[in-house]
Structure 1
Amino acid sequence: MDAPLFAIYGANGHTGRLVATELLSRNQNVLLAGRNGAALRALAGELADFAEFAELGAPGHVRTLVAPLDDPAALRELTESATVIIHCAGPYAQTGEPVAAAAAAAGCHYVDHAVEPHHVKYMFDALQAQAQRTGAVMIPQMSFYGGLADLLAAAVTEGMTDVDRVTVGYAVTGWRMTAGAVRTAELLIGEIDRVTFSDGAQRVGPVEIRNTVFPFPPPVGPRTMIAPFPSGEVVTIPRHVPARTVESQLTASTFEEEQVFTSVDASAEARSQTEFTVAVQAVASAGGGRNGNVRGRDIWWAGALASVEAAVRLAGGEGPAKPGVLSAAEAFPATPFLRMLEDRGAFTLTL
């Protein structure tokens, strides 16, 4: 059997580099893909040096392919060559559809780092039947935003049969956005029709933004939040948690920090200084409920590691029994997957 090939779309971005380095550290074959051939070739040289230094074998571990979003033939070549594609190039409102659609058509397994609910909704609505037909397993938002909360919600609510409300709270400090993240944030902030889930139904339309308080565990404590925060778990969590309402919230102070929107040129070391808590509160209809959280540093690394773990499992035949578009918690057993990420140093898990 041929060794699996892991394609990384948007490889020369910050997340793409983290993903590529992690895959090479596991002695995997990597195909760097994107729109800028010169940047991809330069990165391939850097990574080949890294592989040689780490005694991971010949530079043949790293290849490149230029695949513009408006070139269907190149995207077809990309997805037909790869075992799994990890899509790292946002904003996914602009880049998601062509890459994901090409993967679904080719039967190529797919994971991405999207946060945008509309992209996540598109994948379930438009690509489900084709992915099931071609044998592709496709997992949107297998990253810090979205994926961790989806897994955590499944772990927290395991065994609960009547859930009134699931609230996801993100506490993030020291976040240094990349250029792609800034563009994504600008699109989300200006979005009028938002995806929500309330009273047991998914809706798309205008939403009133409000401030509320989320009870994070110590040492974070109660914090003022922006609600709702537009993240794709409002699409995925209701697929496997019997909740009447699902909402995500983000600490209001996150976007008040001066460096958030002015850090596109920050170093990798500076970006790694982000501190985070992701907490899930599940309230039962009859009262009471459960809580769980993950706490750590470096949201970029946590997201990259989650996507690599998912991709390696898919390539090794350790994914779900049936293909199709799936949430993180539909694709993998939630608590064991979170514990594995904890063991690899992504965060500390409390359930």
Structure 2
Amino acid sequence: MTAQASHHESRNTPLFAVYGANGHTGRLVATELLARGGELILAGRNERALRALADELGGERVRVHPASVDDRPALRALAESADVIVHCAGPFTNTAEPVAGAAAETGTAYVDHAIEPHPVKHLFDDLQATAERTGAVLIPQMSFYGGLGDLLAAVAASGLPDVDKVTVGYAVTGWRMTQGAVNTANLLIGEIDRIGFRDGAQVIGPVEIRNAVFPFPPPVGPRTTIVPFPSGEVVTIPRHVPARTVEVQLTASTFEEEQIFTSVDASPEDRARTEFTVAVQVTAAGGGGRNAHVRGRDIWRAGAVASVEAAVRLAHGEGPGKSGVLSAAEAFPARPFLERLAELGTFTATLPPD
């Protein structure tokens, strides 16, 4: 059995647990997994909301498992039941450790939608040995923020012998935050000790927030950005790209839009109106470099489809040949994975020659 294969060898149909299933991302993930033929466990703290969603989705392939993040026995039982857990309930600063820990302890595959660097770092620092011992594969931030940047960096840096800097730029318009996203943003905005990667080393401490200009490809073009944007690529990219510096930027105009913090009750149709470009610029130490980018609509669907594609591959034994905590680009060949997401209509991809 390969490291990423299910620990439930006798099951013909994969069983996926969606933690935080009744949130916006969780609903998208659950719907996509059902469309892929999986069976579901809808999990989270609100049993009534989970049962309502199960009734809405219908069918015999959906069951419910109430479990709050402070109920360790319930989380362990959830992990023992499932082939893969897709964790959608932020802020991950508060929720990642108990859910991911249950997966690591039981040898269950796990992917999440974290954006915050600190819980991503925690998985690598504190769960690596357990996951390797039990055969679990844990992939944090397999989502829009974090996962796409990690995959694009791997493609753009491929073949460059000496990388000086990797810059990930997010251009986002029309972002309508959920309550979970607002809670996460409030945590990140108030964070003092931020994780960065400079001069070939991970650093943690206060940083000065500044503005820069990132050269997004047309039709977006150069835009003023917030630097650094606290996303987990500063943790994951250095694991597979030998860069001296990794930096993440977000268009300043994103947070200037009136609706971003006042849209917790927005409809799914309104949330889908987001437009995005995720671009990576890799510069070589001796000059030159390579670029890669994706462009699309609906950051929520983009993240959901990315996590589902990863979960389905893990359930079918099509993931990495080793266990442990892995970044998106460590777990899957980056170029084919991005090309598959493009085939699924998640975005259009412009990648450098292979």
With the shorter chain as reference, the TM-score category is: over 0.9
Partner in structure 1 of residue 318 of structure 2: 318
Q: Does 1:129 align with 2:129?
A: yes
Partner in structure 2 of residue 4 of structure 1: 14
Q: Which ranges of 4 or more aligned residues in structure 1 deviate by more than 3 Å?
A: none
Q: Which amino acid aligns with 2:144?
A: F
Specify the SS of the correspondent of 1:270. helix
Specify the SS of the correspondent of 2:258. coil
Partner in structure 1 of residue 69 of structure 2: 69
**TM-score (normalizing by structure 1):** 0.97
Q: Which amino acid aligns with 1:202?
A: Q
Partner in structure 2 of residue 42 of structure 1: 52
Residues 87-141 of structure 1 show CA distances to partners (whole Å, capped at 9, x for unaligned) of: 0000000111111111100111000000000010000000000000000000000
Q: Which amino acid aligns with 1:5?
A: L
Partner in structure 1 of residue 200 of structure 2: 200
Residues 285-316 of structure 1 show CA distances to partners (whole Å, capped at 9, x for unaligned) of: 00001111000000000000000000000000
Specify the SS of the correspondent of 2:192. coil
Q: How many percent of aligned residue pairs carry the same amino acid?
A: 74
Partner in structure 2 of residue 277 of structure 1: 277
Measured after TM superposition, the shift of residue 27 of structure 1 is 1.6
Structure 2 Cα separation of the partners of residues 216 and 76 of structure 1: 44
Measured after TM superposition, the shift of residue 4 of structure 1 is 1.6
Structure 2 Cα separation of the partners of residues 307 and 26 of structure 1: 13
Structure 1 Cα separation of the partners of residues 112 and 151 of structure 2: 15
Q: Does 1:103 align with 2:103?
A: yes
Partner in structure 1 of residue 4 of structure 2: none
Q: Which amino acid aligns with 1:42?
A: A
Specify the SS of the correspondent of 1:265. coil
Structure 2 Cα separation of the partners of residues 290 and 72 of structure 1: 45
Partner in structure 2 of residue 246 of structure 1: 246
Tell me which of 25, 31, 38 is aligned to 1:21.
31
Specify the SS of the correspondent of 1:234. helix
Structure 1 Cα separation of the partners of residues 107 and 95 of structure 2: 19
Residues 9-39 of structure 1 show CA distances to partners (whole Å, capped at 9, x for unaligned) of: 0000000000000011112101000000000
Measured after TM superposition, the shift of residue 328 of structure 1 is 0.2
Q: Which amino acid aligns with 1:63?
A: R
Structure 1 Cα separation of the partners of residues 227 and 299 of structure 2: 20
- Superposed counterparts of 1:120-269, under 5 Å: 120-269=120-269
Structure 1 Cα separation of the partners of residues 312 and 190 of structure 2: 36
Measured after TM superposition, the shift of residue 60 of structure 1 is 1.6
Measured after TM superposition, the shift of residue 245 of structure 1 is 0.1
Q: Does 1:118 align with 2:118?
A: yes
Partner in structure 1 of residue 3 of structure 2: none
Measured after TM superposition, the shift of residue 160 of structure 1 is 1.1
Partner in structure 2 of residue 55 of structure 1: none
Structure 1 Cα separation of the partners of residues 96 and 330 of structure 2: 21
Measured after TM superposition, the shift of residue 247 of structure 1 is 0.3
Q: Which has the higher contact order (CA 8 A, sep 6+)?
A: 2
Structure 1 Cα separation of the partners of residues 68 and 242 of structure 2: 40
Measured after TM superposition, the shift of residue 318 of structure 1 is 0.3
Residues 142-200 of structure 1 show CA distances to partners (whole Å, capped at 9, x for unaligned) of: 00000000000001111112000000000000000000000000000000000000000
Q: Which amino acid aligns with 1:35?
A: R
Residues 261-299 of structure 1 show CA distances to partners (whole Å, capped at 9, x for unaligned) of: 000000000000000000000000000011110000000
Structure 1 Cα separation of the partners of residues 270 and 219 of structure 2: 23
Partner in structure 1 of residue 340 of structure 2: 340
Structure 2 Cα separation of the partners of residues 22 and 70 of structure 1: 28
Structure 1 Cα separation of the partners of residues 43 and 161 of structure 2: 44
Measured after TM superposition, the shift of residue 242 of structure 1 is 1.0
Structure 1 Cα separation of the partners of residues 204 and 349 of structure 2: 33
Structure 2 Cα separation of the partners of residues 107 and 141 of structure 1: 19
Q: Which amino acid aligns with 1:289?
A: G
Measured after TM superposition, the shift of residue 77 of structure 1 is 0.5
Partner in structure 2 of residue 54 of structure 1: none
Specify the SS of the correspondent of 1:60. coil
Specify the SS of the correspondent of 1:75. helix
Structure 1 Cα separation of the partners of residues 209 and 198 of structure 2: 15
Structure 2 Cα separation of the partners of residues 68 and 277 of structure 1: 35
